């Protein structure tokens, strides 16, 4: 049997402050599961949902993008896309998706998010238009379950959830898929706290990123 042609394009946005092995392993798993041609990791410049001083990025846009590039260099299916950090103002997902759809009209776009992002998705800028441009792929994490989601999100899942990849194979956009969980229960904020408190953190980062963080004295 001929191997299925890879035509899908994965998109994974975030602050990546810093990018860690949980990010990498989860998107690699999704790429393999959906037979994706490429996954673009897209560092946000000014994330609209992270405007407070407690949650705004700690490293600069350029530093975060460089760390993403360092993380991608050993994984051919992954690539850093800097379009959002080059864009003035807030990084709205819908604008990025419109650009990518224009650039890749023949590819199905799969926008990869976490359960925490799914929780707030119905409040995102033009979230309904987002679903006309791509499928959502939700990376589940330990300690998150659908019963914890708000009613608006549960209603969205009820109307859009696809039970398996076959359910989206003939659809251009509009479905929500739940990926198999990757059991790495770590977040960028926890890594930053561990660095600041001089606790071990190296197991969650590549050697190149550890070297970059130390060289630039990040998160101290």
- Write the DSSP string, 84-116: HHHSSS---HHHHHHHHHHH-TTS-EEEEEEHH
Helices and strands counted in the chain (H then E): 9, 6
The token pair at 203 is 């197991």
Give the per-residue pLDDT at 57. 60
Backbone angles phi, psi at 184, to 5 degrees: -125, 100
Distance CA 21, CA 71 (A): 9
User: Does domain 9-215 bear CATH number 3.40.50.620?
Assistant: yes
Give the per-residue pLDDT at 81. 97
Q: Which among 45, 38, 36 is positioned nearest to 13, based on CA atoms?
A: 45
CA 112 and chain centroid, separation? 5
Q: List average pLDDT for each run of 10 residues in the chain, which is 220 residues long.
A: 67 94 93 95 75 62 96 95 87 92 95 90 94 94 72 90 84 92 85 95 95 95
Give the per-residue pLDDT at 214. 95
**Residue spans per domain, the chain:** 9-215
């Amino acid at each position: 049997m001929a191997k299925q042609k890879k035509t899908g394009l994965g998109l994974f946005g975030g602050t990546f402050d810093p990018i860690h092995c949980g990010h990498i392993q989860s998107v690699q798993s999704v790429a393999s599961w959906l037979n994706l041609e490429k996954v673009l990791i897209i560092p946000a410049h000014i994330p609209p949902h992270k405007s407070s001083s407690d949650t705004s990025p700690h490293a600069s846009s350029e530093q975060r993008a460089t760390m993403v590039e360092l993380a991608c260099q050993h994984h051919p299916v992954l690539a850093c896309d800097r379009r959002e950090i080059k864009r003035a103002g807030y990084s709205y997902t819908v604008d990025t998706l419109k650009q990518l759809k224009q650039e890749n009209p023949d590819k199905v776009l799969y926008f990869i998010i976490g359960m925490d992002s799914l929780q707030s998705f119905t409040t995102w800028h033009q979230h309904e238009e987002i679903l006309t441009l791509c499928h959502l792929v939700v990376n589940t994490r330990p300690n998150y379950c659908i019963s914890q989601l708000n009613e608006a999100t549960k209603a969205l899942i009820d109307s859009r959830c696809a039970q398996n990849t076959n359910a989206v194979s003939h659809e251009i956009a509009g479905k929500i898929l739940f990926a198999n969980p990757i059991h790495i229960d770590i977040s960028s904020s926890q890594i930053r706290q561990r660095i600041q408190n001089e606790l071990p953190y190296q197991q969650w980062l590549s050697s190149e990123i550890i070297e970059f963080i130390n060289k630039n004295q990040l998160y101290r």
